[in-house]
A and B are shown apart, each in its own frame.
Chain A
Amino acid sequence: MNNKSAKDRIVIASFVIAGLFVLFATRLWQLQILQGGEYKKISTENMLRIIKSPAPRGIIYDRNGIPLVKNAPYFYASLIPEHLESVNIRYLSEILGIDSDELYAKINKKRLNPFEPIKLKEGLTFKEIAEVESRRSDFPGLIIDIDMSREYLYGDIGAHLIGYLGKLSPSQSKNPEFKDVPPEAFIGQWGAELLFDKTLRGTPGARVIEVDALGREIKPLQEKNPVKGDDLKLSIDINLQKAAEEAFAGKSGAMVAIDPNTGEILGFISRPCFDPNLFARGISYSQWLGLNQDKKVPMLNRALQSQYPPGSTFKIVTAIAALNEGVITPETKVTCTGGIHYGKWQFGCWKKEGHGTVSLHKALVESCDVYFYEAGKRVGIDKIAEYARMLGLGTETGLTLVQERIGLIPDTKWKSDKRNQQWYLGETFNAAIGQGYVAVTPMQMAQMMSIVANGGHIYKPTIVKTETAQQPLRDAAIKPEILEIVKSGLYGVVNEGGGTGGAARLSFVSVGGKTGTAQVVGIRKSSHQLPEKFRDHAWFVAFAPVEKPEIALSVFVEHGGHGGGVAAPIAKRAIEGYFKSKEMNKDKNAENRPKTD
């Protein structure tokens, strides 16, 4: 009886055990059949490691083949996590010169792959490398790796155009365009580096290896070599650029120089500027903050993103409009007595004692305001606006370096649409001499100068050196002889007695130009007596040689005072730099230069 019940209980136990076996079989089914595919994937991924090797980035050259950047090796220290326990963090922080708290934070940061080396410090100096290497045995698992970083050979010269590299940002890494880019890699974030990132970047290589849990390579599975990025030949002339930027010395402003025959940008300045080398190895947060909070706004691209009244440089537009519409001829004479009266208002000429009787040529050379009041009155604001837009002002220039501002060319329609007011003749007077509502960017002024210089052809501006002859986008509806008349006036501005642009005169090449002074406050006072922020902005637009222009440019100096005194010398240095550089690279350019007519 008792034995029987013990037997019964053994049988019950066997049922319990058998039941658990059924449970286990079910679990096996779940793991292996239902979730098998998922786990298979994980187990494969466990073993595969893809090591991406960044491709050497394409080199950026100036138009004459002078390298502007180079890829320099830089070193970084990483730690293999398995050796973490045997490393004295305090000691390590001392040697690497990192705060030990920061070091702990880096080490304790959650990582996707527990076996991936932890990057501790980038941009090691040779001294630091030597320190680490000499204490090799103290730090098992500390590895020093080499990567390429970008070195900008000319520092801040041309920085706004050339741009800089920065780490792939978290938002960018989600963008499919960057799916081939290794995390933490540097990509173009500004200027040409950003614009042409795709071609410069190249194709990163990849090594697919099978690893065990210790990260030891068991066997290589696949290997793809990196393909170097394409080189990029910019249209800028670094000698021009350097000469002009040096001429800016401490001033804020912008310069754009264009080849009027192709639309190539020969020089591009926005000052103050920044050193792209700061970004190349990862800019620190405080440095970044400093750049962005600087009152002088070095990160602002003044050539494309700041707009100001063009001042007297706009007289070129008024002159062309009046001549082409036939309301004046070169012979038309106007008498300047130092100003005109219109109703109860007085519109003065900058020369209080008056210019006397002036023709168009003299009016341009001496920048007589009264002449252009008359010309503006005759042709009317809507025609002035039409020609201004035809010459590229108040419209996009199409240079996509940054989001450009389009400025403002006012007309009667604009006034009634935007201000719901009628247009007054007095406003035409102001507009005719480039004051009042008129606002333009330095880039637009350079484009205007280029169109005037090349006889009315509108080219799309480009920062890349072109190897073939460019076709203009369209031609301005302006008679070429009228442009010749204006150009001869501009020649006079620089080269004739009484001309306002004498400071741009050069002995070996004929320069034409026009000065401009944009009022900041509505008082006519000698500018240098005012505090800097109230001083006038200085403009100068120029082209050379006058007979067969190869360079057209605009110079803008913030709060610089008079255009003739401040902006013209910079233009002179730029033109000088261009022709010197051309002379130096004569042989090279003989075969490269596109045929122009």
Chain B
Amino acid sequence: MLKIDRRLIKNFDWLTFSLTILLSVIGIMTIYSATRPLLPYEAPVYHMKQIYWLIIGLSAMVLVVKFDYIWLGRLAYPLYAFGMLLLLIVLVAGKTGMGAQRWLNIGPISFQPSELFRLIFIIVIARYLSEVKPQMGLTSVIRTFFIFALVPLALVLKQPDLGTAIILGTIFLSLSLTKGLQKKVIIFLLILVALSVPFLGNIFWEGLKDYQKNRLVAFMEPDADPAGIGYHINQSKVAIGSGGFFGKGYMRGTQGPFRFLPEKQTDFIFAVFAEEWGFLGSFFLLLVYLALILRGIDTALKAKDDFGRFLAAGITFMFSTYFLINAGMTLGIMPVVGIPLPFMSYGGTALLSNFIAAGILINIRSRRFELFY
């Protein structure tokens, strides 16, 4: 044990560790600024809650790093069963908030099981893919999809949590691609996509909730109704744009605290940051995220086994998807989907889940020289 610990410290991934802490601290600062009181009787609570969750997240990360990630592979299927159970409980006994049934109450804490499930999903897919033969054929892909993805996707969509569904779908697809698909499978998928666009579009559209439809319309034509559905996107662009090159300065942003920007401490936190820190700060933030992602890619490349490689790649793809969809939305180049910015957006379960994910990355990288026993 002691011997392992020393090697662990020697090979510890300090970069990923510090990047995640840096992002969380920036996040908490921005949350405070976004919700800072304007009138004397207001008392913001979000930043304090986020600090507690940061402490919980850090502890969880340390715990995750301590045990070899091999154990995650070994426990993948029981974990998967546990995750599915959580999703089912949410569906039955979950708490509704903002038009969706996503939360579970455990004592005073309410948390979103789907945030934890995405990690379990990566673990189980990584475990499965590390064992199947490469160049997956059509039946193999379909079987994988039916076994691992269909039910959770349906459960998550039922909440409805379009954001998590998109993440799960992306993880499944990107990991399958990484594993390697036969050419005919790729061609088949492309044809399927091409053929189904007209049908799927319609089914997709009909299946959407009104607010989701509105968001899509707003994305296509944000100026159509600036006070209505296009409001989110327009105000986000105003926030980012008004930051200019140097930004308005920390605690000097107005779009967020003055409530012109909705969801300021959660989905639109990037806009609040960009308003206060300008192009200079935003570009720096992009670099931090890019560094975190490239470090994850590098970890995947250097992983000692296939499971570790798929696990690291899955987590990195997940971070990338989160970041790209969220920032793309705030920048007005993607439709509004309720997806938080990793490590920065207010939200306890998401932060905890992201620290566990980061912990797994550190775990994989720190143990890249270890031999199998």
Indicate, yes or no, whether A interacts with B: yes
Distance (whole angstroms) from the CB of B217 to the closest CB of chain A: 18
Alpha-carbon distance A235/B245, docked complex (angstroms): 64
Q: Are A14 and B259 in contact (CB under 8 A)?
A: no
Q: Are B297 and A11 in contact (CB under 8 A)?
A: yes
Closest B residue by C-beta to A32? B279
Interface residues of A, count at CB 8 A = 42
Q: Are B274 and A28 in contact (CB under 8 A)?
A: yes
What residues of A have a CB within 8 angstroms of the CB of B180 in the complex?
2, 5-6, 9
Alpha-carbon distance A21/B309, docked complex (angstroms): 23
Distance (whole angstroms) from the CB of B288 to the closest CB of chain A: 11
Is the CB of B240 closer than 8 A to any CB of chain A? Answer: yes
Alpha-carbon distance A9/B309, docked complex (angstroms): 12
Contact string against B for A residues 345-365, beta-carbon threshold 8 Å, 1 for contact and 0 otherwise: 000000000000000000000
Q: Are B254 and A43 in contact (CB under 8 A)?
A: yes
Is the CB of A13 closer than 8 A to any CB of chain B? Answer: yes
Is the CB of A477 closer than 8 A to any CB of chain B? Answer: no
Cβ < 8 Å to B, chain A residues 310-340:
none
Residue among B180, B242, B324, B327 with max Cβ neighbours from chain A (10 Å) = B242
Alpha-carbon distance A46/B242, docked complex (angstroms): 11
Contact string against A for B residues 269-294, beta-carbon threshold 8 Å, 1 for contact and 0 otherwise: 00000110011001100100110011
Q: Given A28-B282, A39-B238: A46 and B258 within 8 A (CB)?
A: yes
Q: Given A6-B179, A42-B242, A114-B227: A213 and B258 within 8 A (CB)?
A: yes
Distance (whole angstroms) from the CB of A55 to the closest CB of chain B: 30
What residues of B have a CB within 8 angstroms of the CB of A32 in the complex?
240-241, 243-245, 274, 278-279, 282
Q: Given A5-B134, A24-B331, A28-B331: A36 and B244 within 8 A (CB)?
A: yes
Q: Are A7 and B238 in contact (CB under 8 A)?
A: no
Q: Are B255 and A43 in contact (CB under 8 A)?
A: yes
What residues of B have a CB within 8 angstroms of the CB of A25 in the complex?
283, 286
Distance (whole angstroms) from the CB of B347 to the closest CB of chain A: 22
Q: Are B320 and A27 in contact (CB under 8 A)?
A: no
Is the CB of B2 closer than 8 A to any CB of chain A? Answer: no
Is the CB of A584 closer than 8 A to any CB of chain B? Answer: no
Q: Are A13 and B258 in contact (CB under 8 A)?
A: no
Is the CB of A20 closer than 8 A to any CB of chain B? Answer: yes
What residues of A have a CB within 8 angstroms of the CB of B9 in the complex?
none
What residues of A have a CB within 8 angstroms of the CB of B332 in the complex?
27, 31
Distance (whole angstroms) from the CB of B282 to the closest CB of chain A: 5
Alpha-carbon distance A6/B301, docked complex (angstroms): 9
Distance (whole angstroms) from the CB of A107 to the closest CB of chain B: 13
Distance (whole angstroms) from the CB of A165 to the closest CB of chain B: 32
What residues of B have a CB within 8 angstroms of the CB of A114 in the complex?
227
Contact string against B for A residues 196-219, beta-carbon threshold 8 Å, 1 for contact and 0 otherwise: 000000000000000111101010
Can you report 13 A-B residue pairs in the complex whose CB atoms are below 8 A from each other?
Answer: A2-B134, A9-B178, A17-B293, A24-B331, A24-B333, A31-B237, A40-B241, A42-B242, A43-B239, A43-B242, A46-B255, A212-B260, A213-B258
The 4 A-B residue pairs with the shortest CB-CB distance, nearest first, are A39-B241, A114-B227, A43-B242, A213-B259
Question: A residues engaging B (CB < 8 A)?
Answer: 2-3, 5-7, 9-11, 13-14, 17-18, 20-21, 23-25, 27-29, 31-33, 35-40, 42-44, 46-47, 111, 114, 211-214, 216, 218
